[in-house]
Amino acid sequence: MTSPTEFSLRDVIALLARTPRALDALLRGLPTVWTRRNEGPDSWSPYDIMGHMVLAEREDWIPRTRLILEHGDARPFAPFDRFTQMKEPQLKSLEQLLDEFASLRKESLATLKTLNLQPNDLARSGRHPSLGSVTLSQLLATWAVHDLSHLHQLSRVMSHQYREAVGPWSIYLGVLQCAGHSAQ
């Protein structure tokens, strides 16, 4: 049960198809104490995370997939700014971001289907501006784990708001021991 799992396009799509509904079920209509608070300076609230998910969905996964298929490693990916959503005015409601994410994800998965990726496509390489050579299957695996990473971050950010409220139970709650890791 512990050997690393091989990439499967079917398994990745199954996960990618479910994340928007899971985030929607968790966040829509939730009081702002859970959705608009962060973990302190320069950290993200669930609202910020959803803004990031929308941007990544639009600018990252499918554009990079196309670039690999069309140019291989001849042209590096455009760098993706993980902080764009923090620099823009927050004009949209959380519910609008959830809708937008669900709609963009649906489009992404429809595009992925039309690409009809074969094993030799999945093995093709692209060039990441800082990581260097990466394969299409690694990009698609990262897309899925990126969803999970932000679910992980979001549950930690929400838990943080009740760090004091749980009193002595805090030592038993794993999520409250998590200090956060990298830029997510």
29-58 residues near a second copy, rule: CB under 8 A: 29-31, 33-34, 36-41, 45
Packing angle between helix 94-115 and helix 46-59, nearest 10 degrees? 30
> What is d(CA 154, CA 45) in angstroms, rounded to the nearest whole number?
7
Q: Whose CA is closest to 154, among 73, 35, 58?
A: 35
- CB burial of 113-136 (b: ≥16 within 10 Å; e: otherwise) equals eeeebeeebbebebbbeeeeebbb
Q: Whose CA is closest to 24, among 96, 107, 72, 77?
A: 96
Is residue 141 a contact residue for a second copy (CB under 8 A)? yes
| Interface stretch with a second copy, choices 54-62, 67-75, 98-106, 147-155 (CB under 8 A) | 147-155
Is residue 71 a contact residue for a second copy (CB under 8 A)? no
Is residue 97 a contact residue for a second copy (CB under 8 A)? no
| Interface stretch with a second copy, choices 1-9, 68-76, 83-91, 103-111 (CB under 8 A) | 1-9
Contact 23, 54 (CB under 8 A): no
Q: What's at 28, amino acid-wise?
A: R
| Interface stretch with a second copy, choices 53-61, 65-73, 103-111, 131-139 (CB under 8 A) | 131-139
Is residue 180 a contact residue for a second copy (CB under 8 A)? yes
Minimum separation from the CB atom of position 144 to a second copy (A):
6
Residues between 101 and 130 that touch a second copy (CB under 8 A): 128
Is residue 90 a contact residue for a second copy (CB under 8 A)? no
List, in sequence order, every beta strand (DSSP E) within 24-63.
none
Residue from 65, 85, 108, 137 touching a second copy (CB under 8 A): that is 137
Is residue 85 a contact residue for a second copy (CB under 8 A)? no
